[in-house]
């Protein structure tokens, strides 16, 4: 002990010696020489660690101006032994190289001391011949010679001396800078290590000398494992299997030393004995090599079980021998996360509980020991860390196998968490928050943690403060944030089922969002600080990896959890959040703008590390999920995001992101798919909420169209992921619908026949436009799609596309889309014929027939394809579209709102527009399945059914569906251009509805009835251009009287329409007699000429009078009796004054001149000269 004290004193004051004098340095060598002699004689009584510290301090002191003193031989021999001290090699690397240089045989050859032989002991042991001494300076030959000598040795001293000399060659090879990398592997790869050391590792020691020899072998092998790279594989082939066997000398020695009956003899003192230190170091090296190998599962479990037994025995002794606890806890921590051991632990829940309790006891012991001194002294830091790490690993297993957690161990675990949170070491604090994260996954864990804490809100306060504290490392923030997220997830259940949860006081929403916004401003994407701050590298070599991660910056993993917390806060019912207008707080806090700015400032293209790139992609996905969730609160948030043009561009450019080299393909594809789905989801929401800002959104999409359309076309494939394909279709449908709406607004003023400019541009090498390419993709996936929802969205997207892209419509027609859709309707007609028979029996359709929705959407697509598309109409006609419609026409009854009926009529309306063959096909249809169109017009065609529907609506004019009436009248206008359709119309009762317009039938017209009347008169006006229909209308009873009454008593619009019909009827020669026979006709026309101020009325009246008096004496006589000449003269005079004073456009003046000419001709026919 006295020598130990002397050595410690020298070590303490060695740095204070004046080092400017060489004489003092030589004096210090004398001190080392005395210590070396004492160590040689009384080595078993001297603490080698303390002596190594002393030697290191003195040797560092005697180094003057980088000049290394040549030490005496005895000092070098002592240094050679001390150089293998684990404390020196592992804990003091800056002076370890001095030990190697001073103790190496290569230094012996440079010795200037003639009294000390260079090969002292070496020649005596191996009897080198004079001509063989040159081999002494060849390391590979020397090592081989020493190993052969070990094979042939019969005594302990010979082997020990050979091993010591091996160290003299191996250490310089490992650390000497003048050897190139790989020199040690090259020299050691062919030497016979296995033949020399195999017997020592497989034979159990029988005496102290055997144990000492085995320890020396283990030390040497452990060092070789640590410093060899390619040459290590040959050692692993035989050492690892040998040492992992139950009968190996290593395992027996480890078990013997660890489980001695009198453990106090082994673990007494403040420094771990060299034997145990060597055993543990070698154990950790072996475990590292065997971790991925399942064949050693039983042996690893035995070692783990042994270490746990030692921990238990030390716990019974009060943990008073803390010197050995660190390596034991390190071994438990290392093995408790190995799959083979965790599988055994999962099958032994009682063992897990016992281990948890023992670990928590030790952590509490560290907090309470040494009369209140800190548990984080230099000696206890490692033990506290490894005990916390072991506890974390075992808790993970226990929470998986036990639900709910057992109160016997959950309480002690929660009791140590506050101690770990308050630790000064960031690694221990990290484990504290990791343990709290695991415990907070269950309600019982949160309640227990609240119970043992100083106050119920300690769990929130500690985690929240750690999260917003910029001084905390990112890893601490990460697990603190996870704990907060778990608390929010379970808060509703905690508050409802426990009393302690009601007393929890949380920060206000504003303060939380404000702090989160500050945190988001410190997010960094690059994995190293040198990349974050340019090329400025961290120069302090003493900084650890944890210190190098600037706590001021937030990592992508922390950002991911922050976003989850924000999403959960939106839906949370926590009292601090509920009363406040969350949407207003979100908008005013700037959180959304900051989140979106992160998208614009990401550095994904600069990240080369695969794992960091995956974390960054996940963080961006979480940011987008947060924005998606927040945009649902308030539409104004979407407008804010659209205004950030730089971030909008960066958002779209994420669709072109590619993984770095070395990233696993499957993981990268999955991560990118999730990110891109969120990108399209956010773009869809922004498109929906854009409102008046849609032009900005459209401009951004147009500028980045290549990126977007490349991703869309890749996802619009049958082999793409379903969720990706669905999201691409949703986005495409939303933006195309918006573009269609905007295009329709501009159509009246400035219609572009080519469609939208983006979709009409040439895109790929096949000279296909964007619209044509999308059509090609949509048609392909529709034919291969098997789900109803996907088919619906494909059809709706397709419909919007062909409405705004003429090239897309042409491509669709050429691809035979009309044929495909009509075949689909025929398939539905045959498959669902029996089901549709029950529609007419239902007062309200309640069935969930998805094919009806698809049918309605198909009708919309066909309607768009045949609209102003002659080729589309011809294709539809050749595929018997009207006959197919007739077979499923009765399905419209399934929709009370008549959506399907309107779809049928709109499609027929577009199909028959300016297409007489399509109108003729209306009369040849049949509703009988399996039968084609008829050869001649039939009274049971689809046109007859439409007549019946319209007549039913007209009979209930006060409660009719105005849209139905409008569509049917428009459709019949197209059909009336064909003789066959007009013939069927005359046989119906629709024309007879004219009788209902008599004032005696309806005294007071409601707005809806008035609208029906106008629609009917417009329809009659259209019919009256055909001669046959002029006759049919005039034959309706009291038709002329009804028109006269409508002209005299109706409003302006009604009067004009009635006059126009009378005008058309007067063109038919057969109708003139009827008109002249009615006494009220000519006075009515004369009155309109003289009294009306409406140019249209005057024109219609004048034309009608002209038609009635031309070549008709009876007409002239009737006109004179009605004072028409006077009315004509007054009208001419009035119109000429109006023409002279009018400042209107030239076209209006021309209309007045034409009307004056007509009236002048009438006046001439009546025999009166017009006044000038």
**DSSP assignments along 63-126, one per residue:** -BTTBPPPPPHHHHHHHHHHTT-HHHHHH-HHHHHHHHHHH-HHHHTT---TTS-TTTTHHHHH
User: For 511-532, what is each residue's pLDDT tens digit?
Assistant: 677 777 777 777 777 665 333 3
Report pLDDT for 786: 83
Name the pLDDT band for 978 (thresholds 50, 70, 90). Answer: very high
Report pLDDT for 73: 57
User: For 300-333, what is each residue's pLDDT tens digit?
Assistant: 888 888 888 888 887 887 776 656 778 888 888 8
Prior bond to 360 cis, omega within 30? no
Tokens, residue 654: 């994420």
Rounded Cα distance between 759 and 827, Å, is: 33
Rounded Cα distance between 909 and 903, Å, is: 10
User: For 190-245, what is each residue's pLDDT tens digit?
Assistant: 778 888 888 887 777 788 788 788 888 888 887 787 777 766 777 777 777 777 76
Rounded Cα distance between 808 and 771, Å, is: 5
Query: 879: closest CA among 867, 862, 891?
Result: 862
Lowest mean pLDDT: which of 544-548, 707-711, 891-895, 933-937?
544-548
Task: Please check whether residue 431 is in contact with residue 454, taking contact to mean a CB–CB distance below 8 angstroms.
Answer: no
User: For 842-886, what is each residue's pLDDT tens digit?
Assistant: 444 444 578 888 999 999 999 999 998 999 999 999 999 999 999
Query: 272: closest CA among 427, 382, 349, 390?
Result: 382
Tokens, residue 140: 């590979």
**In the chain, what is the straight-line distance between the N-terminal and C-terminal CA atoms, in Å?**
146
Report pLDDT for 1042: 86
Report pLDDT for 547: 39
The mean per-residue pLDDT over the stretch 935-939 comes to: 87
The mean per-residue pLDDT over the stretch 1084-1102 comes to: 78
Name the pLDDT band for 632 (thresholds 50, 70, 90). Answer: confident
Report pLDDT for 797: 92
Name the pLDDT band for 943 (thresholds 50, 70, 90). Answer: very high
The mean per-residue pLDDT over the stretch 899-905 comes to: 92
Task: Please check whether residue 998 is in contact with residue 1040, taking contact to mean a CB–CB distance below 8 angstroms.
Answer: no
Q: pLDDT higher for 522 or 179?
A: 522
Q: pLDDT higher for 125 or 147?
A: 147
Name the pLDDT band for 1086 (thresholds 50, 70, 90). Answer: confident
Report pLDDT for 548: 39
Q: pLDDT higher for 27 or 881?
A: 881
Report pLDDT for 33: 66
Percentage of residues of the chain with pLDDT beyond 70 = 72
Phi and psi torsions of 405, nearest 5°: -60, 150
Task: Please check whether residue 978 is in contact with residue 924, taking contact to mean a CB–CB distance below 8 angstroms.
Answer: no
Q: Is the pLDDT of residue 9 over 60?
A: no
Q: pLDDT higher for 75 or 168?
A: 168
Report pLDDT for 136: 39
- SS3 annotation, 7-44: HHHHHHHHHHCCCCCHHHHHHHHHHHHHHHHHHHHCHH
Lowest mean pLDDT: which of 609-623, 649-663, 743-757, 1096-1110?
743-757
Report pLDDT for 887: 92
Handedness of CA 486, 489, 492, 493 (dihedral sign): negative
Report pLDDT for 350: 86
Over the chain, what is the mean pLDDT?
76
Enumerate the domain spans of the chain: 2-118, 407-506, 511-536+546-703, 816-986
Handedness of CA 50, 52, 53, 55 (dihedral sign): positive
Rounded Cα distance between 1058 and 552, Å, is: 83
Report pLDDT for 920: 93
Name the pLDDT band for 731 (thresholds 50, 70, 90). Answer: very high
Tokens, residue 176: 């000497």
The mean per-residue pLDDT over the stretch 367-371 comes to: 59
The mean per-residue pLDDT over the stretch 630-651 comes to: 86
Lowest mean pLDDT: which of 477-486, 749-758, 1020-1029, 1099-1108?
749-758
Query: What residues contact 446, with CB distance under 8 A and at least 6 apart?
Result: 439, 440, 459, 486, 487, 490, 494
Report pLDDT for 680: 94
User: For 413-431, what is each residue's pLDDT tens digit?
Assistant: 888 888 888 888 888 888 9
Q: pLDDT higher for 667 or 56?
A: 667
The mean per-residue pLDDT over the stretch 913-942 comes to: 90
Lowest mean pLDDT: which of 152-166, 351-365, 860-874?
152-166
Percentage of residues of the chain with pLDDT beyond 90 = 15
The rounded Cα 751 to chain-centroid distance in angstroms is 40
Tokens, residue 97: 């190289």
Query: What residues contact 495, with CB distance under 8 A and at least 6 apart?
Result: 501, 502, 504
Q: Is the pLDDT of residue 1041 over 50?
A: yes
Query: What residues contact 1085, with CB distance under 8 A and at least 6 apart?
Result: 1062, 1101, 1104, 1105, 1108, 1122, 1124
Q: pLDDT higher for 341 or 277?
A: 341
Report pLDDT for 967: 93
The rounded Cα 227 to chain-centroid distance in angstroms is 44
Name the pLDDT band for 39 (thresholds 50, 70, 90). Answer: low
The mean per-residue pLDDT over the stretch 1043-1072 comes to: 83
Report pLDDT for 134: 40
Q: Is the pLDDT of residue 497 over 80?
A: no
The mean per-residue pLDDT over the stretch 257-280 comes to: 64
Q: pLDDT higher for 122 or 250?
A: 250
Place of tokens 């009835």: 1009
The mean per-residue pLDDT over the stretch 154-162 comes to: 84
Report pLDDT for 460: 79
Rounded Cα distance between 918 and 1002, Å, is: 38
Report pLDDT for 496: 61
Rounded Cα distance between 1076 and 1080, Å, is: 9
Name the pLDDT band for 671 (thresholds 50, 70, 90). Answer: very high
Q: pLDDT higher for 679 or 9?
A: 679
Tokens, residue 216: 């020396």
Lowest mean pLDDT: which of 687-696, 920-929, 972-981, 997-1006?
997-1006
Name the pLDDT band for 541 (thresholds 50, 70, 90). Answer: very low
Rounded Cα distance between 273 and 253, Å, is: 14
Report pLDDT for 21: 41
Helix (H) or strand (E) holding 1156: helix 1146-1165
Query: 991: closest CA among 947, 946, 1044?
Result: 947
Place of tokens 């001084």: 471
Report pLDDT for 225: 77
Report pLDDT for 1153: 73
Listing DSSP states for 396-465 in one string gives HHHHHH-SSPPHHHHHHHHHHHHHHHT-SSHHHHHHHHHHHHHHTTSHHHHHHHHHHSSSTTHHHHHHHH
Tokens, residue 592: 């959304």
The alpha-helical segments, DSSP class H, found in 632-693 are 635-643, 645-653, 665-689
């Amino acid at each position: 002990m006295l020598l130990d004290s002397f050595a410690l004193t020298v070590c303490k004051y060695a740095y204070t010696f004046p080092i400017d004098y060489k004489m003092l340095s030589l004096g210090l060598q004398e001190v080392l020489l005395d210590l070396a002699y004492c160590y040689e004689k009384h080595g078993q009584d001297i603490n080698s660690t303390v002596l190594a510290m002393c030697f290191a301090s003195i040797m560092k002191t005697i180094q003057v101006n980088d000049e290394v003193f040549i030490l005496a031989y005895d000092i070098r021999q002592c240094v050679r032994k001390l150089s293998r001290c684990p404390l020196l090699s592992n804990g003091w690397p800056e002076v370890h190289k001095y030990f190697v240089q001073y103790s190496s045989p290569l230094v012996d050859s440079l010795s200037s001391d003639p009294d000390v032989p260079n090969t002292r002991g070496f020649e005596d042991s191996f009897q080198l011949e004079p001509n063989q001494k040159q081999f002494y300076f060849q390391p590979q030959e020397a090592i081989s010679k020493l190993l052969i000598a070990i094979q042939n040795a019969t005594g302990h001293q010979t082997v020990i001396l050979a091993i010591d000399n091996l160290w003299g060659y191996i250490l310089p090879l490992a650390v000497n800078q003048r050897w190139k990398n790989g020199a040690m592997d090259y020299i050691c790869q062919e030497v016979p290590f296995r033949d020399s050391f195999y017997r020592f590792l497989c034979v159990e020691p029988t005496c102290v000398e055997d144990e000492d020899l085995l320890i020396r072998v283990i030390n040497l092998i452990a060092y070789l494992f640590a410093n060899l790279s390619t040459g290590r594989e040959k050692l692993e082939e035989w050492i690892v299997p040998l040492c992992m066997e139950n009968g190996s000398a290593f395992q027996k020695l480890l078990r013997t030393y660890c489980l001695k009956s009198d453990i106090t003899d082994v673990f007494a003192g403040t420094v771990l004995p060299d034997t145990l230190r060597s055993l543990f170091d070698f154990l950790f090296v072996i475990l590292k090599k065997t971790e991925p190998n399942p064949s050693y599962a039983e042996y690893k479990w035995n070692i783990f079980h042994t270490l746990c037994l030692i921990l238990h025995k030390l716990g019974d002794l009060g943990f008073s021998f803390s010197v050995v606890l660190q390596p034991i806890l390190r071994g438990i921590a290392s093995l408790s996360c190995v799959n083979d051991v965790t599988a055994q632990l999962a099958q032994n829940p009682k063992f897990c509980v016992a281990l948890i309790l023992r670990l928590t006891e030790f952590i509490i012991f560290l907090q309470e020991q040494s009369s209140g001194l800190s548990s984080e002294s230099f000696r206890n830091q490692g033990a506290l860390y490894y005990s916390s790490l072991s506890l974390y690993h075992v808790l993970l297993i226990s929470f998986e196998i036990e639900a709910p957690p057992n109160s016997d161990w959950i309480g002690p675990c929660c009791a140590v968490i506050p101690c770990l949170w308050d630790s000064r070491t960031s690694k221990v604090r990290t484990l504290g928050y990791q343990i709290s994260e695991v415990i907070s996954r269950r309600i019982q864990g949160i309640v227990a943690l609240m119970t043992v804490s100083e106050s119920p809100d300690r769990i929130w306060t500690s985690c929240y403060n750690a999260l917003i504290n910029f001084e905390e490392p990112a890893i601490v923030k990460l697990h603190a944030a996870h704990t907060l997220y778990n608390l929010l997830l379970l808060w509703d259940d905690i508050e409802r089922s426990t009393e302690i949860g009601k007393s929890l006081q949380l920060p206000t929403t504003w303060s939380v969002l404000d702090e989160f916004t500050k945190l988001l401003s410190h997010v960094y994407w690059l994995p190293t600080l040198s990349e974050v701050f340019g090329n400025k590298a961290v120069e302090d070599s003493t900084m650890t990896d944890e210190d190098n991660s600037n706590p001021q910056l937030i990592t992508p993993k922390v950002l991911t959890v922050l976003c989850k917390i924000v999403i959960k806060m939106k839906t949370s019912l926590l009292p601090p959040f509920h009363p406040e207008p969350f949407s207003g707080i979100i908008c005013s806090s700037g959180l959304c703008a900051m989140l979106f700015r992160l998208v614009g400032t990401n550095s994904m293209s600069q990240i080369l590390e695969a794992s960091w790139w995956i974390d960054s992609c996940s963080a961006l996905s979480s940011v987008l999920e947060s924005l998606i969730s927040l945009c649902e609160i308030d539409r104004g948030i979407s407008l804010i995001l659209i205004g950030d043009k730089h971030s909008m561009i960066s958002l779209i450019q994420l669709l072109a992101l590619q993984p770095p080299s070395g990233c696993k393909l499957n993981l990268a594809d999955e991560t990118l798919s999730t990110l891109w789905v969120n990108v399209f989801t956010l773009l869809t929401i922004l498109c929906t909420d854009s409102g008046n800002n849609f032009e900005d959104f459209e401009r951004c999409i147009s500028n980045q169209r290549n990126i977007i359309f490349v991703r869309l076309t890749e996802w619009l494939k049958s082999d793409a992921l379903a969720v990706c394909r669905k999201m691409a279709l949703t986005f495409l449908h939303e933006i195309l619908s918006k573009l269609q709406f905007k295009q329709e607004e501009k159509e009246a003023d400035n219609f572009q026949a080519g469609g939208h400019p983006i979709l009409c541009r040439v895109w790929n090498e096949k000279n296909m436009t964007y619209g044509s390419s999308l059509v090609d993709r949509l048609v392909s996936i529709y034919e291969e799609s098997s789900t109803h929802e996907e088919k619906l969205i494909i059809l709706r997207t397709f419909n919007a596309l062909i409405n705004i892209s003429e090239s897309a419509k042409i491509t669709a027609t050429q691809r035979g889309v009309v044929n495909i859709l009509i075949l689909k309707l025929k398939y539905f007609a045959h498959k669902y014929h029996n089901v549709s028979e029950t529609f007419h029996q239902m007062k309200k359709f309640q069935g969930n027939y998805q094919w009806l929705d698809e049918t309605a959407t198909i009708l919309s697509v066909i309607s768009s394809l045949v609209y102003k598309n002659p080729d589309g109409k011809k294709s539809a006609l050749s595929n018997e579209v009207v006959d197919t419609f007739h077979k499923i026409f009765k399905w419209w009854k399934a929709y009370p709102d008549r959506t399907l009926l309107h779809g049928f009529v709109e499609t027929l309306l577009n199909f028959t527009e300016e297409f007489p063959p399509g109108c003729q096909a209306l009369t040849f249809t049949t509703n009988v399945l399996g039968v084609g169109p008829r050869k001649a017009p039939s009274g049971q065609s689809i046109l007859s059914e439409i007549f019946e529907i319209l007549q039913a609506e007209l009979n209930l004019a006060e409660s009719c569906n105005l849209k139905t009436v409008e569509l049917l009248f428009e459709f019949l206008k197209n059909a009336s251009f064909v003789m066959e359709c007009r013939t069927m119309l005359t046989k119906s009762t629709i024309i007879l509805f004219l009788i209902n317009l008599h004032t005696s039938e309806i005294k007071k017209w409601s707005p809806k009835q008035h609208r029906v009347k106008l629609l009917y008169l417009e329809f009659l006006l259209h019919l009256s251009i055909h001669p046959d229909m002029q006759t049919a209308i005039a034959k309706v009873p009291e038709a002329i009287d009804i028109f006269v009454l409508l002209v005299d008593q109706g409003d302006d619009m009604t009067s004009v329409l009635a006059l126009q019909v009378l005008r058309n009827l007067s063109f038919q020669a057969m109708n003139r007699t009827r008109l002249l026979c009615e006494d009220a006709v000519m006075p009515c026309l004369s009155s309109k000429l003289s009294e009306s101020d409406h140019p249209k009325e005057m024109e219609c009246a004048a034309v009608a009078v002209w038609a009635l008096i031309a070549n008709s004496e009876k007409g002239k006589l009737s006109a004179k009796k009605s004072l028409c000449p006077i009315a004509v003269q007054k009208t001419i005079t009035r119109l000429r004054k109006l023409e002279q004073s009018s400042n209107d456009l030239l076209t209006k003046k021309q209309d007045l001149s034409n009307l004056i000419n007509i009236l002048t001709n009438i006046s001439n026919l009546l025999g009166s000269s017009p006044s000038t």
